Homo-oligomer: A and B are copies of this chain.
Amino acid sequence: MEIHALSRKYYLELAGPGEGDARGDRERILEALPEECRGAQMPLAVMRTLYPMCREAGFRLTVTLVQNGFGWEVLRVEPGDTTAVHYGAAVDFGSTTLVMQVVNLNTGEIVTQQSIFNPQIRYGEEILSRIFYTKDQLEHLREMQETTASGFNALIAKCEEDCGIPRGQYTAMTVGGNTTMIQLLLGVYPWPVFETPYAPAVQEPGFLAAAELGISLPGYVYLFPSAANYLGGDIISGLLAAGIDQSERLSVFIDIGTNGELVAGNSEFLLAGAGAAGPALEGGISRYGMRADTGAVDHVHIQDGKLQIHVIGAAQGGTQNSQSAGAPAARKDRPESTDAPRPQGICGSGIVDLLAELFLNGWVDALGKFQEDASERIIQVRNHLDEEREELAVCYAWASESANGEDLVFTQSDVTEFIRTKAAAHTMVAYLIDEFGLQEEDVARFYLAGAFGKYLDVEAAVTIGMYPDLPRDKFVMIGNASLEGARKLLLDARCLADVERIVRKITYVQFGEAGNFVERMHAAQFLPYTDLDAYPSVKRRLQRR
């Protein structure tokens, strides 16, 4: 990998002033830099350090340069050769979790990865409640900004502690965050992000002095731009990571978190859409739906008529996001817990598995209707929102096994709701592919970003028709794509041009307004799809059973 980081260090051994050479120290240093850095800006604070330091060091100096949005800026001049110490930080700034990687800018190596909960959560789990808190309240806005910055600083401290490299050496930072998160970090009113026509105050903040944001790092912080209110810097960063605009062939990028965002495109066009797919997929629809945290059923298998579950162990703690980290310092896979925890609910990947298994084993039909006689686990329950109504459900953990002493069930209503959601996801993808005049089989890469994409069983997701039935090697699980993109840019300043091109190229599609969208969505409310021939691999599996 060629490294063109947002921060550079050069060691110079210069001849000092002498006969016929009375150039200033500032000019002597700048003229000795590689050509593209010679026009670098030197701030007053650095000028003040030059004399007598340069002469005392015999003009053997290390110059640190950072990108400031206009070009290179001298961050510091130090005596001796300190080029070996050169780090930066990449951040995925989620509304729930902040994840930071400290990266060696000489080698690209990830030195540590840490995460913390977004301290904004104290103002509400929902983004909307945080926005409301700041509405027309300058003091609240400032408080939110400071709280946000304090989260960054706490995370920096955690990284420092883990890797032992002091923050003064992290000379660049990149941040992928959604539009609202970025407004709150800036200390800019986020209200217009949620008010029609959804035009924020700032879409492309670019580089800002860390100190100005209250972040205790020496250089600049680059904030990925947003392309629209639902297409924030986190998605743009993810697209950079996937590089879908670099190929002539069509790729699809899906990031499913609280919202579901998807982008389809190639080097010519990028079409983007978003839907509130998240809550359903994250288990929000079910009474026993939960995040992929300790006690959540995350995998389901039916073998010989017997339903088997896997429960996330306590050892992993934290949130789904923090587990999804791709860094060496973090656990990549869910280890078996030594003392298996009792289940207390089901998370997104568990639901997809469950539904696929129910369908493959004939416990539900192609419409998602429970087949009462298929298993003893299919039982009658009262609807938890409407006690008058009884419905069928599958019990994936009996009361005696569960953490809360209740039968853990996934009801007919849950199935129907989930199928509606997966139909929306499917139709959005299909719609975008259509827009290019292409077919599903023309998709060269199907990128699955986010923790959900990472843990989801692709086979199961195809089985229920959530993803198209593509050759499995076309699916690319890129995990925390926002973090990946942030690190990519940190290590390659040339990506700034890519980011700008992506933002300019992207076209946002309002699915609700799209012609036959609703009809198509209805057609997708089958398992896996109205036309089984569109899902040959599922058809084969069904025929095998």
Contact = CB atoms under 8 A, between A and B. Distances in A.
A212 interface: yes
B201 A50 contact: yes
Interface stretch (A5-13, A23-31, A265-273, A337-345): A23-31
A48 interface: yes
Given A44-B187, A188-B50, A212-B44, A199 B17 contact: yes
A401 B22 CA distance: 51
A19 interface: yes
A187 B188 CA distance: 35
A234 to B, nearest CB: 16
A52 B191 CA distance: 9
Contacts of A69: 41
A203 B44 contact: no
A229 interface: yes
Q: Please provide the 3 A-B residue pairs with the shortest distance between their CB atoms, ordered closest to farther.
A: A17-B199, A24-B203, A70-B70
A200 interface: yes
A143 to B, nearest CB: 14
A146 to B, nearest CB: 14
A189 interface: yes
A189 B54 CA distance: 12
A275 interface: no
Interface in A193-210: 197-206, 208
Interface string A495-515: 000000000000000000000
A304 to B, nearest CB: 54
Interface of A: 16-19, 21-28, 41, 43-44, 47-48, 50-52, 54-55, 69-71, 186-189, 191-192, 197-206, 208, 212-213, 226, 228-229
- Total identical chains: 2
B44 A208 contact: yes
Nearest to A50: B201
A437 to B, nearest CB: 23
B51 A19 contact: no
A205 B47 contact: yes
B203 A26 contact: yes
A145 to B, nearest CB: 9
Contacts of A71: 70
A210 to B, nearest CB: 11
A192 B48 CA distance: 13
Contacts of A197: 17-19, 21-22
A107 to B, nearest CB: 30
Contact of A188 (B21, B41, B47, B55): B47
Contacts of A199: 16-17, 21-25, 28
Contacts of A51: 188-189, 191-192, 201
Contacts of A52: 189
A222 to B, nearest CB: 13
A132 to B, nearest CB: 15
A187 B48 CA distance: 7
A263 to B, nearest CB: 17
Contact of A26 (B50, B191, B201): B201
Most B-side CB within 10 Å, residue of A70, A187, A205: A70
Nearest to A17: B199
Contacts of A24: 199-204, 226
Contacts of A192: 17, 25, 51, 55
Most buried by B among A18, A28, A204, A226: A204
A25 B188 CA distance: 11
A24 B192 CA distance: 9
